[in-house]
Amino acid sequence: MAIKRIAVLASGRGTNLQAVMDGIKSGRVRNAALRLVVSDNPKAYALERARASGIEALWINPAAFPGREEYNLELIEQLRKRQVDLVVLAGYMRILTAEFVRSFKDAIINVHPSLIPSFCGKGYYGERVHREALEYGVKVTGATVHFVDEGTDTGPIILQQAVEVLPEDTVESLAERVLEVEHLLLPRAVDLYCRDCLKIEGRRVWIKAD
Amino acid sequence: MAIKRIAVLASGRGTNLQAVMDGIKSGRVRNAALRLVVSDNPKAYALERARASGIEALWINPAAFPGREEYNLELIEQLRKRQVDLVVLAGYMRILTAEFVRSFKDAIINVHPSLIPSFCGKGYYGERVHREALEYGVKVTGATVHFVDEGTDTGPIILQQAVEVLPEDTVESLAERVLEVEHLLLPRAVDLYCRDCLKIEGRRVWIKAD
């Protein structure tokens, strides 16, 4: 089984990127090579993390393209050029075009800070997810890793784990505890993908036993 | 603190009713007296369970009333007559009218077999909840106990607990494991209510520490 080449797309701090890098280093993520980190934001700390680990870091400036379609074509080209097998979205704040999703069919993974289908869809990213969960008054939330399809947060679910909401929780404290779970689930999902242990059947994802 | 008088509304087997009865008997549900079990279905085994424990069992025949409004007025009258403090919906298959909900404001508790706001709302009851969860491909579902407001499954959440979805799960096996959690959560919520340990603030329910 050929080693899978991974590209991570990130707009911010890149803690999920770090979790994947750590997973590869420690051997929990197997059969994977992190080939490239791309950001739309030149100041994303994710780029810094990549460089610090000797991984190619690429800023692609959205302002240099007439629109989203052209920007995504450039993304596709850069990833293709490096023969990327798996695209991991780790806090990437832009919506991918249908063409991008088709170009990497069943090969894009995203991590979302709630138990999908709760608190997801258009406009649900970052702190807002946790704010809405707290305002709704749920007692349980969690994290989801899923394949990306042409909808927003609608693709087949790979892994989910629950997180209890505590009475004293703020948006920040809840986000932090959910992020810890994201850091567990994302590397695990990448490992499963890279070892060909995931099978999509309609909306269900089957996990082959180790 | 006066003992709370409880009425349970049930349409079916009444296993959640049994969980509340067992909770009262064992002392896990405190400060509570089960006063009445009402069903819209004369063959509901819930009525049988009530009678077997010496609790008043009342079938109110929907066909005897011109419509939902009149049926609910009768329900209200029967509960008022017995000075009911708390109404517990335990597999009650009819939607209550706004007038019923107003008559027992913040004093109606329902149990729902998913992690609200996932897989809830109009049409989501019984097996359909679990079928949709399986078809959606979630890896985590659960149970919710919540106050009833004028919407469907929209009231403030009292307790939730997650249940893992297993690869081999069928609608039946998943329903069974979620039901076990319902049987834990519902008596716990009734106990908290009857000991005045719940405080509703907007959509959030605060639980006073014991």
User: Which of A134, A139, A192, A204 to mutate to test binding with chain B, by most B CBs within 10 Å of its CB?
Assistant: A139
Among the listed residues A112, A130, A146, A183, the single catalytic one is: A112
Does A98 touch chain B if contact means CB atoms closer than 8 Å? no
* Cβ atoms of B141 and B119 closer than 8 Å: yes
The mean pLDDT value for B1-6 works out to 95
Is the dihedral angle over the CA atoms B109, B174, A164, B210 positive or is it negative? positive
Contact B137 A202 (CB under 8 A): yes
Q: What integer pLDDT is reported at residue A27 of this predicted model? A: 97
The mean pLDDT value for B1-21 works out to 96
Mapping DSSP to helix (H, G, I), strand (E, B) and coil, where does residue B17 land?
helix
List, for residues A78-134, the tens digit of each pLDDT value.
999 999 999 999 989 898 999 999 999 999 999 999 999 999 998 888 899 999 999
pLDDT higher than 90, residue B130: yes
Provide the angle, in degrees to the nearest 10, between the axes of the packed helices A171-194 and A15-26. 40
List, for residues B149-206, the tens digit of each pLDDT value.
998 888 999 999 999 999 999 999 999 999 999 999 999 999 999 999 999 999 999 9
Query: Is residue A112 flagged as an active site residue?
Result: yes
pLDDT higher than 80, residue A46: yes
B3-14 burial: b if 16+ Cβ within 10 Å, else e:
ebbbbbbbbbbb
B210 pLDDT band, cuts 50/70/90, is: low
* Cβ atoms of B14 and B49 closer than 8 Å: yes
Domains in chain A, ordered, with CATH?
Answer: 4-207 (3.40.50.170)
Mapping DSSP to helix (H, G, I), strand (E, B) and coil, where does residue A141 land?
strand
Q: Which of residues 118-147 of A touch B (CB under 8 A)?
A: 118-119, 134-140, 142
Which tokens in the block code for residue A5?
Answer: 């080449």
The mean pLDDT value for A17-23 works out to 98
**Element holding B26 (H helix, E strand):** helix B15-26
Q: What integer pLDDT is reported at residue A123 of this predicted model? A: 86
Separation CA A42–CA A35 (nearest Å)? 19
* Cβ atoms of A142 and A115 closer than 8 Å: yes
The mean pLDDT value for A14-28 works out to 97
The mean pLDDT value for B100-107 works out to 97
DSSP state of A27: T
Distance between first and last Cα of chain B: 15
Q: What integer pLDDT is reported at residue A125 of this predicted model? A: 86
Q: What phi, psi does B104 have (nearest 5°)?
A: -125, 55
Which tokens in the block code for residue B79?
Answer: 């509960």
Q: Which of A191, A1, A8, A171 is nearest to A92 (CA)?
A: A8
Q: What is the pTM of this model?
A: 0.93
Q: Measured between beta carbons, which residues in chain A are less than 8 angstroms from residue B202? A: 135, 137
Q: What integer pLDDT is reported at residue A122 of this predicted model? A: 87
The mean pLDDT value for B28-48 works out to 97
DSSP string, A166-192: PTT--HHHHHHHHHHHHHHHHHHHHHH
Separation CA A109–CA B74 (nearest Å)? 54
Contact B162 A139 (CB under 8 A): no
A210 pLDDT band, cuts 50/70/90, is: low
* Cβ atoms of B100 and B123 closer than 8 Å: no
Q: Do the bridges between strand B157-164 and strand B140-147 make them parallel or antiparallel, or are there none, so unpaired?
A: antiparallel
Average pLDDT, chain A: 96
The mean pLDDT value for A18-37 works out to 97
Question: What is the number of alpha carbons within 13 Å of residue B99 lying toward its C-beta?
Answer: 10
Contact B157 A167 (CB under 8 A): no
Separation CA A78–CA A65 (nearest Å)? 14
DSSP state of A149: -
* Cβ atoms of B147 and B205 closer than 8 Å: yes
The mean pLDDT value for A39-57 works out to 96
Peptide bond into A113 cis (omega under 30): no
Contact A162 B142 (CB under 8 A): yes
* ipTM of this complex: 0.90
Provide CB contacts within 8 A for A151, sequence distance 6+. none
Question: What is the number of alpha carbons within 13 Å of residue B199 lying toward its C-beta?
Answer: 6
Contact A115 B116 (CB under 8 A): no
* Cβ atoms of B89 and B71 closer than 8 Å: no
Mapping DSSP to helix (H, G, I), strand (E, B) and coil, where does residue A73 land?
helix
Does A167 touch chain B if contact means CB atoms closer than 8 Å? yes
Provide the angle, in degrees to the nearest 10, between the axes of the packed helices A171-194 and A127-136. 120
Separation CA B25–CA B47 (nearest Å)? 18
Separation CA B28–CA B187 (nearest Å)? 8
